Amino acid sequence: MSPTVALVVGLVVGGALVATVLLLHARPGPRPPAPLPAPPPEAVLARRLVDLMDPAVVLLDAADVVVLANRAARGLGIVRDTRLVVPELLEIARAARDGGRPRTDVPLPGALVGSSPRMVGVHGLLLAAGPGPGTGPVALVLQDVTEARRVEAVRRDFVANVGHELKTPVGALSLLAEAIEDAADDPETVRRFASRMSHEADRLGRLVRELIDLSRLQGGEPMPELVPVEVDRVVAEAVDRTGLAASAKRIPIATGGEQGLVVRGVESQLATAVTNLLANAVTYSPEGTRIAVGARSRSGFAEITVTDSGIGIPRKDRSRIFERFYRVDQSRASSTGGTGLGLAIVKHVASNHGGAVTVWSEEGLGSTFTLRIPLAARPADDPDAPAGDAVAADVSKGRS
Ligand code: ADP
């Protein structure tokens, strides 16, 4: 290499090195972290937390002036400007200042909340001792317990009712057993009492069965999967189960309406519901009358109707007959063997299926109960199913 060439090469390599070093230095390095915004003071955070909390919280100073009320408390309508508008709440604050830790339920009138009356569970807490007795800031913590108290009341009622309902047939059985003992040498009387015993035992058995059904339907057990159920099969099963009682009263049961409907449901539950409606139709109809059961599809629902020309239901009782143990005529319960649970079961079956049950009735003319259950999806709505006609049509084709 000539000295000139060596000089040129040296200059080029040197220049490149200098340029690389300069470039490297020019590349931006890791940025220094931006200073974080200073966290809000603890007091602000605490206030924000209280505001977001679910229970309603109100802070009162020693003179009962509201110094803080969270969103939930304002939503309850208990604070106006800086004052509590419910006198019972002020009493709880006073009790807390006197050294107690009062906890009590307070009813809030509907007008305050802008909806139905509510029940709130209130807990009063003295936050700091004041300069003298009965002074100091107090916190009131309020939880809406309306639904919880309602459920408790229903449960208490239910247990009391069950006790009462079980006592009647059990009492009758023990009296009849005594009577049989006393009449041991009179076969005719023994037979009569024995037949009444069997009637009471049937009633007791039905009551226990229906109680178990009801507790299952009310969520005692998870609801089985809803599958396509043929309405015709449900109706046929229910007619079959009530046939004997109906023919004993010379009541024919006519079936009709649309055939081949398919609903989404649990067949055993639906059969129980329709059986209960048919059994009532038989029970509350005079001998020699007629009963009809039919089905039709209406706006995505199968409507199963049970019509009788029996005694009908007085207007004042119509809205209550679906309650547990409600009977129009309590005194007739032992002669009809009624438990007052049949329609409560029907109502639960309907609601578990996303449906409903309604009644039309006129005293002396008869009643029509309508059970509405969602129809099963048509194959066309189901992307996995082969295209075809409605399920209803497919099923009716499949059955000869
Ligand atoms: P029960 O076991 O007493 O029949 P239900 O819950 O099935 O209980 O019915 C509640 C009440 O509704 C009955 O006691 C009866 O007074 C009235 N009821 C039900 N179905 C009919 C009907 N088809 N006709 C007249 N009254 C009825």
* Closest ligand 1 atom, residue 308 Cα: 23
pLDDT digits (tens, 9 = 90+) for 74-125: 999 999 999 999 999 999 999 999 888 899 999 998 777 667 788 999 999 9
| Strand partners of residue 57 | 141
Ligand 1 contact, 338 CB (< 6 A): yes
Rounded Cα–Cα distance for residues 373 and 370 (Å):
10
In this prediction, residue 334 carries a pLDDT of 59
172: alpha, beta or left? (left if phi > 0; alpha if psi -120 to 50): alpha
Q: Tokens at residue 276, please?
A: 């209960």
Taking CA 139 as the corner, what is the angle to CA 133 and CA 142, rounded to the nearest 5 degrees?
Answer: 135
Helix, strand, or coil (residue 276): helix
366 CB near ligand 1 (under 6 Å): no
Q: Is the CB of 284 within 6 Å of ligand 1?
A: yes
The Cα–Cα gap between 292 and 274 comes to 12
Q: Which of 110, 304, 94, 341 is nearest to 205 (CA)?
A: 341
* 48 SS3 class: helix
Domains of the chain: 48-144 (3.30.450.20), 149-222 (1.10.287.130), 224-399 (3.30.565.10)
Residue having the nearest C-alpha atom to atom 2 of ligand 1? 338
Q: Is 279 in the pocket of ligand 1 (CB under 6 A)?
A: no
CA atoms within 13 A on the CB side of 315: 0
* Structure tokens belonging to residue 104: 């009590």
339 lines ligand 1 (CB under 6 A): yes
pTM above 0.75, yes or no: no
Residue 49 CA to ligand 1 centre (angstroms): 53
**Ligand 1 neighbour 322 (Cβ under 6 A):** no
DSSP string, 197-240: HHHHHHHHHHHHHHHHHHHIIIIISPPPPPEEEEHHHHHHHHHH
Ligand 1 centroid distance, CA of 330 (Å): 10
**Residue whose CA lies nearest to ligand 1 atom number 19:** 280
Q: Name the residue with the closest Cα to ligand 1, atom 13.
A: 327
Exposure string (b/e) for 193-202, b if CB count within 10 Å is 16 or more? Answer: beebbebbee
Task: Report helix, strand or coil for 248.
Answer: helix
Rounded to whole angstroms, the Cα distance separating 144 from 115 reads 13
* 276 Cα: distance to centroid of ligand 1 (angstroms): 9
281 lines ligand 1 (CB under 6 A): yes
If you write DSSP's letter for every residue of 153-207 in order, what string do you get? HHHHHHHHHHHHHHHHHHHHHHHHHHHHHHTTT-HHHHHHHHHHHHHHHHHHHHH
Query: How confident is the prediction along the chain (400 residues), in pLDDT tens digits per residue?
Result: 445 444 444 444 444 444 444 444 455 556 777 777 777 788 889 888 998 989 999 999 999 999 999 999 999 999 999 999 999 999 999 999 988 889 999 999 877 766 778 899 999 999 988 787 788 899 999 999 988 888 888 788 888 888 888 888 899 999 999 999 999 899 999 999 999 999 899 989 988 998 888 888 877 677 889 999 999 999 999 999 999 999 999 999 999 999 999 999 999 999 999 999 999 999 999 999 999 999 999 999 999 999 999 999 999 999 899 998 888 887 666 566 678 899 999 999 999 999 999 999 999 999 999 999 999 976 555 444 443 333 333 333 333 2
Which residue minimizes the CA distance to atom 11 of ligand 1?
327
Task: Give the model's pLDDT for residue 116.
Answer: 77
Phi, psi of 214 (to 5 degrees): -65, -40
Beta bridge mates, 122: 104, 142
Q: How far is the CA of 252 from the centre of ligand 1 (A)?
A: 19
Q: Ligand 1 atom 25: the closest Cα is on which residue?
A: 312
Q: What is 314-339 written as a DSSP string?
A: -HHHHTTTTSTT--S-GGGHHHHT--
Our CA dihedral for 69, 72, 76, 82, rounded to 10 degrees, sits at 10
How many whole angstroms separate alpha carbon 114 and alpha carbon 78? 11
